[in-house]
A and B are shown apart, each in its own frame.
Chain A
């Protein structure tokens, strides 16, 4: 179906809201289920007036998530860039390719009504790029040497516009929040596992206190199951959100450049790109990349396939016929 880029943006944003709502509901529902399961299986040995297990699940999850989030929050975009081994371009550079890149970034800052971020170059031959930093004021844009050598000006501009799309939509923040929650879920799973290991070392206790058996062991198993369930579905939802944000960033790239061919051709060149040499220590941030060449199955993939993205840009006619003028827009 044909849809212009404004519609595509609206669609991606509403799908994101749906996924995030499901994510929150998942958390709450699992907390309730954990409490109910505990009461069923532990019976007499677990009858507190307040839902301890349910609350424990929520507190542990949000606590770990909050801790992780605040750890990352203190690092601006520059931290990520430097971890990956990128070097910042000197604003006063005389290198023509670098100067051109700085111009391209300035142009897209104007088009998106955002401040101009520092620009970094990643020492890799692959065509790739990312934006990092949680707010427009501490955001950075990084692009590989390979991109500068392989892409023409319009294509580089498409890539830069895509990254500005991420900054504009606060995608790094959303990603980090979801990732922190998923880490919280994993911690619950891990905790459950450890408690089980710990209780089996101490041997079985006397089941003298009525029906239900050892409440600690039961609680541990329930936490393990709750953690596993939320970790699995949370990861899937996080990937769904990530894919929608990629479509959104592509639609924003078209909005900012008004030139679908630029970003579409850049994606085509990436598809043909045989090299894969992004720095290994950057793997933790691969969900931020323009394209992450991941072999993950489509459920867990952080990016939609290149074919789907190119199709979305071109076949959906992000710029409908009636919007073009006979002459250049200038």
Chain B
């Protein structure tokens, strides 16, 4: 009699523990997905801001057509790369690499534009320009923080799957370690060189 009760008790505890782990893993996986879509939101924000930048700058820098066009083109490329990525169903190897490449090029083009703007004191002093500078700088920050938050969530999720005793049941429950958002391409990591 006592033995059966004890065994039942142990079984109950095991079930509760397994439910606890299952729910925790689900929560963490959803947090990872949410963090990934945040990155996307911030990329979109940057694409949306750039036409404003071009408009503000055009009036003052009409001679710098080449630089302005470079920014417009880089933006179109980045938008296209991102749409490709969505069509291919998510961050796969090739499409992510393209997106990263296009992103780096866009950053470079915008940095060129700001560097050139230094030569136009009226433009530099304009309130619009200062606001835009802060907005674009904040956008870069947001993309970086969104990626950082994603990586933090991935770490949390991966760790929860790997610790004992969750590791015994994690893959049975359908969970696998997720990759970090890493810039694997050596070229992309190099500091963007500003050229006039």
- Measuring CB to CB, which residues of chain A are less than 8 angstroms from any residue of chain B? 96, 99-100, 103-104, 106-108, 110-113, 255-256, 258, 325, 327-330
* Contact of B152 with A255 in the complex, beta carbons under 8 Å: yes
* Contact of B149 with A99 in the complex, beta carbons under 8 Å: no
Q: Indicate whether A113 sits within 8 Å of B130 (C-beta atoms), given known contacts A327-B189, A327-B190, A327-B191.
A: no
How far does the alpha carbon of A325 sit from the alpha carbon of B142 in the complex, in Å?
Answer: 19
Q: Which of B34, B131, B135, B138 contacts A107 (CB 8 A)?
A: B138
* Contact of A330 with B31 in the complex, beta carbons under 8 Å: no
* Contact of A329 with B138 in the complex, beta carbons under 8 Å: no
Q: Which of B134, B140, B149, B190 contacts A100 (CB 8 A)?
A: B134
Residues of A near B189 (CB, < 8 A) are 325, 327
Residues of B near A256 (CB, < 8 A) are 145
Closest to B143 in A: A330
* Contact of A111 with B153 in the complex, beta carbons under 8 Å: no
Beyond known contacts A113-B153, A256-B145, A328-B191: 7 more, CB 8 A cutoff: A100-B138, A103-B138, A107-B141, A110-B42, A113-B35, A325-B189, A330-B140
Flag B19-37 by CB within 8 Å of A: 1 or 0 each: 0000000000001001100
* Contact of A111 with B31 in the complex, beta carbons under 8 Å: no
Q: Is B12 an interface residue (CB 8 A)?
A: no
* Contact of B140 with A106 in the complex, beta carbons under 8 Å: no
How far does the alpha carbon of A108 sit from the alpha carbon of B145 in the complex, in Å?
Answer: 8
* Contact of A112 with B134 in the complex, beta carbons under 8 Å: no
* Contact of A329 with B144 in the complex, beta carbons under 8 Å: yes
How far does the alpha carbon of A96 sit from the alpha carbon of B135 in the complex, in Å?
Answer: 10
Flag B41-59 by CB within 8 Å of A: 1 or 0 each: 0100000000000000000
Residues of B near A96 (CB, < 8 A) are 127, 130-131, 134
Q: Is B113 an interface residue (CB 8 A)?
A: no
Chosen A-B contacts, 26 in total, with CB atoms closer than 8 Å, are A96-B130, A99-B131, A100-B134, A103-B134, A103-B138, A103-B141, A104-B138, A106-B138, A106-B142, A107-B142, A108-B145, A110-B42, A110-B142, A110-B145, A110-B149, A111-B148, A112-B149, A113-B31, A113-B34, A113-B35, A113-B152, A113-B153, A255-B152, A327-B191, A328-B191, A330-B140
Q: Indicate whether A110 sits within 8 Å of B134 (C-beta atoms), given known contacts A327-B191, A330-B140.
A: no
* Contact of B145 with A107 in the complex, beta carbons under 8 Å: yes
Residues of B near A258 (CB, < 8 A) are 148
How far does the alpha carbon of A110 sit from the alpha carbon of B141 in the complex, in Å?
Answer: 10
Q: Is B74 an interface residue (CB 8 A)?
A: no
Residues of A near B146 (CB, < 8 A) are 110
* Contact of B148 with A329 in the complex, beta carbons under 8 Å: yes
Within the complex, the shortest CB–CB distance from B139 to chain A, in Å, comes to: 9
How far does the alpha carbon of A321 sit from the alpha carbon of B17 in the complex, in Å?
Answer: 38
Residues of B near A330 (CB, < 8 A) are 140, 143-144
Within the complex, the shortest CB–CB distance from B149 to chain A, in Å, comes to: 5
Residues of B near A103 (CB, < 8 A) are 134-135, 138, 141
Residues of B near A107 (CB, < 8 A) are 138, 141-142, 145
Residues of B near A110 (CB, < 8 A) are 38, 42, 142, 145-146, 149
Q: Which of B34, B134, B140 contacts A99 (CB 8 A)?
A: B134
Within the complex, the shortest CB–CB distance from B82 to chain A, in Å, comes to: 18
Residues of A near B191 (CB, < 8 A) are 327-328
How far does the alpha carbon of A325 sit from the alpha carbon of B191 in the complex, in Å?
Answer: 12
Residues of A near B127 (CB, < 8 A) are 96
Residues of A near B140 (CB, < 8 A) are 330
How far does the alpha carbon of A99 sit from the alpha carbon of B137 in the complex, in Å?
Answer: 13
How far does the alpha carbon of A179 sit from the alpha carbon of B131 in the complex, in Å?
Answer: 44
How far does the alpha carbon of A103 sit from the alpha carbon of B143 in the complex, in Å?
Answer: 12
Residues of A near B149 (CB, < 8 A) are 110-113
CB contact list, B180-196 vs A, under 8 A: 189-191
Residues of A near B148 (CB, < 8 A) are 111, 258, 329
Closest to B42 in A: A110
How far does the alpha carbon of A100 sit from the alpha carbon of B31 in the complex, in Å?
Answer: 28
Most buried by B among A108, A111, A255, A329: A111
How far does the alpha carbon of A258 sit from the alpha carbon of B149 in the complex, in Å?
Answer: 11
Within the complex, the shortest CB–CB distance from B71 to chain A, in Å, comes to: 18
Q: Indicate whether A111 sits within 8 Å of B145 (C-beta atoms), given known contacts A103-B135, A103-B138.
A: yes
Closest to A328 in B: B191
CB contact list, B125-173 vs A, under 8 A: 127, 130-131, 134-135, 138, 140-146, 148-149, 152-153
How far does the alpha carbon of A103 sit from the alpha carbon of B131 in the complex, in Å?
Answer: 11
Within the complex, the shortest CB–CB distance from A312 to chain B, in Å, comes to: 21
Residues of A near B130 (CB, < 8 A) are 96
Within the complex, the shortest CB–CB distance from B196 to chain A, in Å, comes to: 22
Closest to A97 in B: B134
How far does the alpha carbon of A179 sit from the alpha carbon of B142 in the complex, in Å?
Answer: 37
Residues of A near B138 (CB, < 8 A) are 100, 103-104, 106-107
Closest to B130 in A: A96
Residues of A near B134 (CB, < 8 A) are 96, 99-100, 103
